[in-house]
Structure 1
């Protein structure tokens, strides 16, 4: 995808994993999301919306669950300096490889790639940060940042600044509300309630979000299926089309990871191509949907 930055600017993803999770009582990164660690799910969701690197920023020495192939992991230089240091570390890690970065935390399991794309598209040449103002709050950890801010953010952290609002007073910020975000028809169709911003801080909040049904995913060759990952959908569709079928995520190029998260609005196609001597070959889809 392309961000609102001009030319061929690429967009990276930054997922902050170093929070203390005090109200949850355990590391959010390791929380189970139907067989997938929550951090791995977040990486997969962000990765579907950007064409640059996806970087996880962790606390020094923090253990992490298994992550999707290609995920980069960087350490904050000092523990306990808050999210602004994580943003600085992430922006520095993608400097020279992307013009924009979508920054998020580990605790937004309903984040939709359409939301990520919409926020990045609002980051134009007149803006340094896009901070949505939605659900009654600013959303600095579901926001887009110009990568060129890295030196400024690092300097502020070195001076003892900890909070993202202290950065915003020093750069050009756009604060789209719900109406502006949902003016994008793709996002309005996929996430009209902006559940992308529904974060989880307690076990009860996690249970409430987990109680939601799996996304209903359109299948071009038949009735829809309810599936949370590409692997789930492949298992369900094997009963219809046989084990040789390969499931393609529309709009993706080369995604094969069965843990790839599916979201409302996804379209799957079934590919069964006879090869030499009866061998069946299938297409794969990319994790960059």
Structure 2
């Protein structure tokens, strides 16, 4: 019998990708879509994976795809949607533009899942990563409250709840780097070649 991990993986792929010029999750790194890397990093740790996106191109990955309940409201809306559909207390939420993310790095978030925090996020180079984080199901209520107030910034959610920040090692910074531009993609590609 398969052991229940009781964690849901939620991949946010609903961004506008305006700086990249095309759908970020479907951009290729070493001939593999970004989102495939996210799926592979999550799979050993979760029971189910959902993709939050209105783009049906993601259906090719054979996962449940859900659209934002409150559209055009930024990353909080994506987190809100994912947590609304989730059936588990613990949820690994990652954006689709962090292709170097690894299962072993995500385990560092899961390690704290039983502690009394609402959100467990990474920090690298002094910057926090609320889009590579573990969220408790009940965060959905605060998401909704902020969305009703017209708030789209995830940082507001993080500040409003009990949040633990886990620092990544210097050598791991690149693993939580999100790719927003073609330049970022080139830099990441060069970094993994060396």
User: TM-score, normalized by length of structure 1?
Assistant: 0.60
Rounded to whole Å, the distance in 1 between the matches of 2:66 and 2:134 is 19
1:12 corresponds to: 8
1:73 corresponds to: 65
Rounded to whole Å, the distance in 1 between the matches of 2:60 and 2:137 is 24
**Structure with more of its chain in helix, by fraction:** 2
Residue 168 (structure 1) shift:
2.4
1:199 corresponds to: 178
Task: Say whether the 8 Å CA contact 2:71–2:77 is kept in structure 1.
Answer: no
Task: Say whether the 8 Å CA contact 2:5–2:46 is kept in structure 1.
Answer: no
User: TM-score, normalized by length of structure 2?
Assistant: 0.87
1:154 corresponds to: 144
2:56 corresponds to: 63
Unaligned 5+ segments in structure 1 are 3-7, 183-190, 215-289
2:75 corresponds to: 83
Query: Are residue 145 (structure 1) and residue 124 (structure 2) matched?
Result: no
2:23 corresponds to: 27
Unaligned 5+ segments in structure 2 are none
Rounded to whole Å, the distance in 2 between the matches of 1:123 and 1:165 is 20
Rounded to whole Å, the distance in 2 between the matches of 1:101 and 1:149 is 10
- Greater radius of gyration (CA): 1
Corresponding residue to 2:165 among 175, 182, 187: 175
Cα distance change, pair 65–55 in 1 and its aligned pair in 2 (3 A): closer
Query: Are residue 120 (structure 1) and residue 120 (structure 2) matched?
Result: no
User: What SS class does the counterpart of residue 101 from structure 1 fall into?
Assistant: strand
User: What SS class does the counterpart of residue 141 from structure 1 fall into?
Assistant: strand
Residue 25 (structure 1) shift:
1.2
User: What SS class does the counterpart of residue 101 from structure 2 fall into?
Assistant: coil
1:42 corresponds to: 38
Rounded to whole Å, the distance in 1 between the matches of 2:30 and 2:56 is 20
Over the aligned positions, Cα root-mean-square deviation in angstroms equals 2.4
Task: Say whether the 8 Å CA contact 1:43–1:67 is kept in structure 2.
Answer: no
Report how many residues are paired: 192
Q: Please say which of residues 19-28 and 191-200 is displaced more in the overlay.
A: 191-200
| CA offset digits 1:193-245 (Å, max 9, x no partner) | 3322122111122123224249xxxxxxxxxxxxxxxxxxxxxxxxxxxxxxx
Residue 51 (structure 1) shift:
2.6
